[in-house]
Structure 1
Amino acid sequence: MTTDTTDVATPRNGASPDPDDAAHVASPRALAWARRRRALADFWRTFRTHRSGLVGLVVLLLIAVLALAAPLLVGSDSRSVTEAPGKSLESPSGRFPLGTDQFGRSLLALMVWGARVSLAVGLLAAVLTVAIGTLVGVTAGHFKGWYATVIMRVTDWFLVMPTLVLAIALATVLDRSIWTTILAIGVTTWPTTARLVRAQTLSVESRPYIERARALGGGHKHVMLRHVLPNVMPLVLAQTTLVISNAILTEATLAFLGLGDPIMVSWGGLLQDARDAGAVSSGDWWYLAPPGLAIALVALAFTLCGRAIESVLNPKLGDRR
């Protein structure tokens, strides 16, 4: 009796097999990355069909580039009060396209620098918010009994309390810094994300493959990290883009109320400086309009991107072009 020594990886056309190709094909990690690349390609292909989402993405990219290139575009000395190049509250001109503030600094340069702080605070606060909300939502949906009851009652308490009031109280108690603002926003705006993630977790854990995973010996960590979390991540991603816009608005509100970092230049801080300088009563519109429009524009751009992402990840929402 002869023994078949043909390798299963040998092509049928007689060509010699490539060990590297065979190992690549047989690698589960390589297959997983291939699926992820295809999923990203499909996501981008569908996202491009949402014109409003593309407009929001382009606006965000332009503002991000300006913020990152601030030292090259306007220079670090443009924030200095002692080296201000203009007069106090000059109206827009060829030299100062957006006018000057009460110290004679170019408002255009301050707007570019302010984009850095506003975007950084919005992104970091949104990450903190979504991280807390996801942790609470997944654990509350996975573990039943007293833990879920207690954690959801705490969540309900945060929901009924005014978010801005809680953020103001926390920012008042702690030191005035950018990290205090991020912490104040993050620990007061997570309940909405927690309830959304918990509802999605309950839906995922009711599916048959979760029961099979548990029957095969999968523990709590395995079920939450390998099955539940990947299924709630699309919802978390869409929620993040929406939370960023709220975080930027909250940061601007705190800065406008004088609870932001007095050293950092932000759009909300510019509004607060304009109020202190009496720009409203004196009619210096160029001091008020640019920061307010910038805040509204960025918030709108993040909202458009978030809605487009949500529509792509959940086709049941319909076409939102």
Structure 2
Amino acid sequence: MTAGPGPGAVPSPAAQGGGVPTARALARARRRRSAARFLAAYRTHRGGVAGLGALVLIGLVALGAPLLVGSGVRSVADAPGSALEPPSARFPLGTDRFGRSLLGLLVWGARISLTVGLLAAVLSVAIGTLVGIVAGHFGGWPATVLMRVTDWFLVMPALVLAIVLATVMSRGLVTVVLAIGVTSWPTTARLVRAATIAVESRPYIERARALGGGHGHVMRRHVLPHVMPLVLAQTTLGISGAILTEATLAFLGLGDPTVVSWGGMLQDAREAGAVSSGHWWYLAPPGIAIAVVALAFTLCGRAVESVLNPRLEVGR
């Protein structure tokens, strides 16, 4: 004869529901299984794992900048060295034209470059997702108008538009984020629109409409969850492009002059004549850092894309 649960025992959700799990518990279980499958598949991509490891390391260095190099490294007035010192034991990457440690500037610059890249990519993907879902869901003249606007942004060079916006608006990080985000969304919009059209052709969408589901319900509860994998992959891939664009704007002198970024370091090196004078240590660190971060995000994005859409994977 088995003993029942004690007086202080808490019954499980299945027991509370008469042995049938609740819908919320089932949804949580499905999400856990999906996350476990995603991680297991992602670990098989060596490039994606390497890129993720590099990003985690760079992110930790950026977050720990005040502890690693201190906040005074950005000050021009209190620069500890002389101008354009080559790499040494005191300054492993040399100094800039003001005598500041390039290693310290590189660590602090990671914060700005990563932040601007992330925010600009999220803004770009958010705009593209909204335009793509609305155009794919409604069709007709709304889709025609939205797609013509998208085509106009596609044929116009995004960098030129970003330069124009950064020139017209006041200089600052918000301006850089807006300039990149509002000029790089068309590709996401087209991809999401195609995915929305494919999702809305499925029978359960018709059933949802027949049961009284409105436009907002269909787009939010049925279409958006199915296009989110595509949105995630586009976000990961877009961050590398946003970081490169931010570096380009800063190199052209259109960034925020009050903060340190990798593109700003390259712009300072150009103004100091580092190319003609042979001060390679002034140019190499920020350039290599930009290339490494862009490559790492690209590797992660390709791995995510392959996991979420295995048909893209060739030769494995």
Are positions 1:40 and 2:32 aligned together? no
Q: Return the match for 1:284 from 272, 279, 297.
A: 279
Deviation at 1:247, TM superposition (A): 0.1
Specify the alignment match of 2:112 in structure 1: 117
In terms of mean alpha carbon deviation, does 23-32 or 159-168 score higher?
Answer: 23-32
Question: Of residues 240, 246, 254 in structure 1, which corresponds to 2:249?
Answer: 254
2:313 matches 1:313: no
Map 1:165-244 onto structure 2 (within 5 A).
165-244=160-239
1:153 aligns with 2:145: no
Counterpart-to-counterpart distance in 1, 2:49 and 2:202: 35
- C-alpha distance in structure 2 between counterparts of 1:249 and 1:79, whole Å: 22
Q: Give the TM-score of the pair, scaled to structure 2.
A: 0.95
1:23 aligns to what?
16
Q: What's the CA shift for 1:14?
A: 9.1
The CA RMSD measured in Å over matched residues stands at: 1.5
| In 2: Cα distance, 1:87 partner to 1:194 partner | 50
Describe how 1:44-123 pairs up with structure 2 within 5 A.
44-123=39-118
Equivalent pairs, count: 309
Q: Alpha-carbon deviation of 1:319?
A: 5.0
CA distance in 2, matches of 1:125, 1:318: 28
What one-letter code is carried by the residue in structure 2 that aligns with 1:235?
Answer: L
Q: Distance in 1 between matches of 2:37 and 2:10?
A: 30
Amino acid of the structure 1 residue aligned with 2:16: A
Quick one: distance in 1 between partners of 2:170 and 2:25?
Answer: 48
Report deviation, 1:20: 3.4
> What percent of counterpart residues are identical?
74
Matches of 2:58 and 2:121 in 1, distance apart? 18
Between the aligned partners of 2:142 and 2:269, the Cα distance in structure 1 is 48
Q: Distance in 1 between matches of 2:139 and 2:84?
A: 61
- Amino acid in the other structure paired with 2:33: R
- Which segment drifts farther, 286-295 or 213-222? 213-222
Structure 1 residue matching 2:12: 3-state secondary structure: helix
**Aligned-pair distance for 1:145?**
1.1
1 CA distance for matches of 2:315 and 2:242? 24
Alpha-carbon deviations, 1:90-117, whole Å to 9, x = none? 0001111100000000000000000000
Give 4+ residue runs of structure 1 displaced > 4 Å after superposition.
13-18
CA contact (8 A) 1:96 1:106 kept: yes
Q: Mapping of 1:125-136 within 5 angstroms?
A: 125-136=120-131
Alpha carbons of structure 1 residues 292 and 206: separation in structure 2 relative to 1, 3 Å: same
DSSP-derived class of the 1:95 partner: coil
Q: Report the alpha carbon displacement of residue 18 of structure 1 after superposing the two structures with TM.
A: 6.2
For structure 2, the residue ranges without an aligned partner over 5 or more in a row are: none
Opposite residue 71 of structure 1, the aligned amino acid is P
* Partner residue in 2 for 1:6: none
C-alpha offsets along residues 46-90 of structure 1, whole Å, 9 cap, x if unaligned? 100000000000000000000000000000001000111111000
SS in structure 1 of the partner of residue 257 of structure 2: coil
CA 1:204–1:78: 2 relative to 1, 3 Å = same
Shift of 1:208: 1.1
Specify the code of the residue in structure 2 equivalent to 1:272. Answer: Q
